[in-house]
Copies of this chain bind each other. A is one copy, B any other.
Amino acid sequence: MYGLIGKITAVAGKSDELASILVEGTKNMPGCVSYTIAKCTEESDLLWITEVWLDKSNHEASLQLPAVQAAIGKGRPLIAGMERVATTNPVE
């Protein structure tokens, strides 16, 4: 398996809207085992994303999916910053 943990900082006050766009855009992605979107309690503009994929190629392919492309387009103006915190090997 292949995993990613990342942080996305939303434009101030926009994290709920951004989270909704991400939830909508990341349903039904082939090879996606789980995609956890969580608002940080301590910093309201910060989202934590924990991804689990069957393998790395599934993640790469997902970026071309129409729903994901649409979410990227809608979400981009609401994003102030992104950081990949870790690449992982999720354990079953």
Contacts and interface: CB of A to CB of B under 8 A. Distances in A.
Given A48-B86, A50-B50, A86-B48, A38 B3 contact: yes
B38 A52 contact: yes
Complex copy number for this chain? 2
Interface size bracket, A side: 20 to 34
A11 interface: no
Contacts of A69: none
25 contacts: A3-B36, A3-B48, A5-B5, A5-B48, A5-B50, A22-B91, A23-B91, A34-B34, A36-B36, A36-B50, A36-B90, A38-B50, A38-B86, A38-B88, A38-B89, A39-B88, A39-B89, A39-B91, A40-B87, A40-B88, A40-B89, A41-B86, A41-B87, A41-B88, A50-B50
Interface of A: 3, 5, 19-20, 22-23, 34, 36-42, 46, 48, 50, 52, 86-92
